[in-house]
């Protein structure tokens, strides 16, 4: 086993991983609910950037439905970010499972 070669590979993986983590921070994913009446945009750091609600979705008599749609849209956006992050990190690490990474 060539130790020098192994060290170079580890350094390359470390650079690729750092680049992937920076890219993930700028990723966004949009989740929708209610046929697009509610939209949520999540960032790669798992924060919510925005929530947009179509005025037609606002019914004072059915606030529960609007709340459910907001939760559904936010959850979809966060799942999308999580999936994109996992894919990007797997590409950077060659599919190796590194504890504490995700």
User: pLDDT class for 99, splitting at 50, 70, 90?
Assistant: low
- The percentage of residues in the chain with a pLDDT greater than 70, rounded to a whole number, is 91
The pTM score is 0.77
Domains and CATH numbers, the chain: 3-92 (3.30.1310.10)
Write out the DSSP string of 20-75.
HHHHHHH-EEEEEETTTTEEEEEETTS-EEEEEE-GGG--TT-HHHHHHHHHHHHH
Contact 55, 32 (CB under 8 A): no
Report the alpha-carbon distance of residue 38 to residue 36 in Å, rounded. 5
User: pLDDT class for 2, splitting at 50, 70, 90?
Assistant: confident
Q: Give the strand pairing for 48-53 and 28-33.
A: unpaired
Q: What is the pLDDT of residues 66-97, one digit of tens each?
A: 999 999 999 999 999 999 998 988 888 776 66
Q: What is the pLDDT of residues 55-67, one digit of tens each?
A: 999 999 999 999 9
């Amino acid at each position: 086993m060539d130790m020098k070669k192994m060290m170079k590979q580890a350094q390359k993986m470390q650079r690729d991983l750092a680049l992937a983590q920076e890219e993930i921070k700028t990723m966004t994913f949009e989740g929708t609910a209610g046929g697009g009446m509610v939209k949520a945009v999540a960032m790669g750091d798992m924060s919510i950037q925005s929530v947009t609600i179509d005025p037609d979705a606002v019914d004072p008599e059915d606030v529960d439905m609007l709340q459910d749609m907001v939760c559904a849209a936010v959850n979809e956006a966060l799942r999308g970010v999580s999936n994109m992050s996992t894919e990007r990190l797997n590409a950077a690490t060659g599919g190796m499972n590194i504890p504490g990474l995700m």
